[in-house]
């Protein structure tokens, strides 16, 4: 029972940053914007959160800094793609490279320094439950926030008027503009929300997951978050399932190595990315699944009439 409880706790810890980053990207893509810079925004959120929390001794200030780091990077992406109408794919890739390089420079002096860990917030009564108690009710605030964000994003997109506008902009930005909605404004706000979530995911890595700063510590999680959005068919309720599925795959490699299973460690480390590739191949082969809920204007630039 103790081993099962430990596995569940590590799965939750590994899945939370994936869910946070993917939720933000889901809203971005629902508005018709394809942002491949999630990895860059996550790593900037991680270094900003670690630096501020270490300097001030307050992890919550670090969380705010992590969110701001992600938002600033997203505003840069928005300015280039929405205002200057640059190519979204190329700009997103450039943003990732910029984030990886800039974070390495900013965090150079923090390598190997123990950070300030975000303390868990156990829920009295529920945390004593067997097996699932500590795994679900003895977690840090960002885990609870990820669950609330999943529910809130679902309600926002499918139950609110503002969410309907976001989806309308992603489906047909020309018609939304003709109805009087500011397509650029809606997309800017969506991109900033995506940056905020990516910054939170990065802050989770440096304040909860390791409480250390390690260069390139996101280790491709931003790309997995991008794949999760497609895997979930742009639906938040499926996204939480996908995030925990991929989190389970990534954690099983460590338990397999600890159990002494005779599989090369390099192959085990590649399992999360192999699972991502297989999931995308499966989805692409099924046209009905690939078309389901895909925003019609995803990745298409919009220039309002002058």
Contact 256, 263 (CB under 8 A): yes
23-43 core/surface letters (b: 16 or more CB in 10 A; e: else): bbbbbbbbbbbbbbbbbbbbb
DSSP-assigned letters across all residues of the chain: -HHHHHHHHHHHHHHHHHHHHHHHHHHHHHTT-----HHHHHHHHHHHHHHHHHHHS-HHHHHHHHHHHHHHHHHHHHIIIIIS---HHHHHHHHHHHHHHHHHHHTGGGTT---PPPPP-PPTTTTTSTTHHHHHHS--HHHHHHHHHHHHHHHHHHHSHHHHHHHHHHH-HHHHHHTT--HHHHHHHHHHHHHHHHHHHHHHIIIII-SS--TTTTTTHHHHHHHHHHHTTT-HHHHHHHHHHHHHHHHHHHHHHHTT-SS-HHHHHTHHHHHHHHHHHHHHH-HHHHHTT--TTTT-------
Instruction: Give the chain's mean pLDDT.
Output: 89
- pLDDT at res. 7: 82
Q: Residue 103 CB: number of other CB atoms within 10 A?
A: 27
Residue 8 binned pLDDT confidence (cut-offs 50, 70, 90): confident
Q: Which domains, from first to last, does the chain contain?
A: 2-117+134-219 (1.10.3470.10)
Q: What is the pLDDT of residues 184-238, one digit of tens each?
A: 999 999 999 999 999 999 999 999 998 889 889 998 899 999 989 988 889 998 8
First-last CA distance in the chain: 66
The fraction of the chain above a pLDDT of 70, given in percent, is 91
pTM across the whole model: 0.92
Contact 62, 50 (CB under 8 A): yes
Q: 66 or 5, which is more confident? A: 66
Residue 169 binned pLDDT confidence (cut-offs 50, 70, 90): very high
């Amino acid at each position: 029972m103790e081993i099962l409880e430990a596995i569940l706790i590590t799965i939750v810890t590994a899945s939370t940053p994936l869910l946070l980053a993917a939720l933000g990207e889901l809203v971005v893509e629902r508005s018709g914007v394809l942002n491949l810079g999630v990895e860059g925004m996550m790593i900037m959120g991680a270094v900003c959160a670690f630096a501020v929390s270490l300097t001030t001794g307050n992890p919550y200030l670090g969380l705010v800094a992590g969110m701001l780091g992600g938002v600033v990077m997203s505003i840069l992406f928005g300015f280039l793609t929405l205002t200057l109408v640059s190519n979204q794919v190329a700009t997103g890739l450039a943003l990732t490279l910029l984030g990886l390089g800039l974070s390495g420079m900013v965090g150079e002096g923090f390598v190997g320094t123990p950070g300030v860990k975000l303390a868990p917030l156990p829920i009295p009564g529920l945390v004593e439950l067997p097996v699932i108690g500590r795994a679900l009710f003895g977690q840090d605030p960002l885990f609870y926030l990820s669950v609330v964000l999943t529910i809130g994003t679902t309600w926002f997109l499918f139950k609110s008027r503002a969410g309907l506008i976001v989806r309308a902009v992603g489906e047909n930005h020309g018609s939304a503009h003709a109805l009087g909605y500011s397509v650029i404004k809606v997309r800017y706000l969506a991109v900033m929300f995506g940056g905020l979530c990516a910054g939170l995911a990065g802050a989770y890595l440096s304040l909860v997951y390791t409480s250390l700063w390690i260069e390139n510590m996101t280790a491709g999680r931003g790309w997995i978050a991008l794949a999760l959005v497609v895997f979930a068919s742009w639906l938040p309720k499926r996204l939480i399932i996908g995030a925990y599925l991929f989190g389970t795959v990534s954690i099983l490699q460590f338990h397999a190595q600890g159990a002494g299973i005779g599989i090369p460690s390099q192959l085990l480390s590649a399992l999360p990315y192999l699972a991502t590739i297989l999931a995308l191949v499966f989805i692409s082969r099924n046209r009905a699944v690939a078309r389901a809920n895909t925003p019609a204007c995803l990745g298409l630039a919009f220039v309002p009439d002058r």
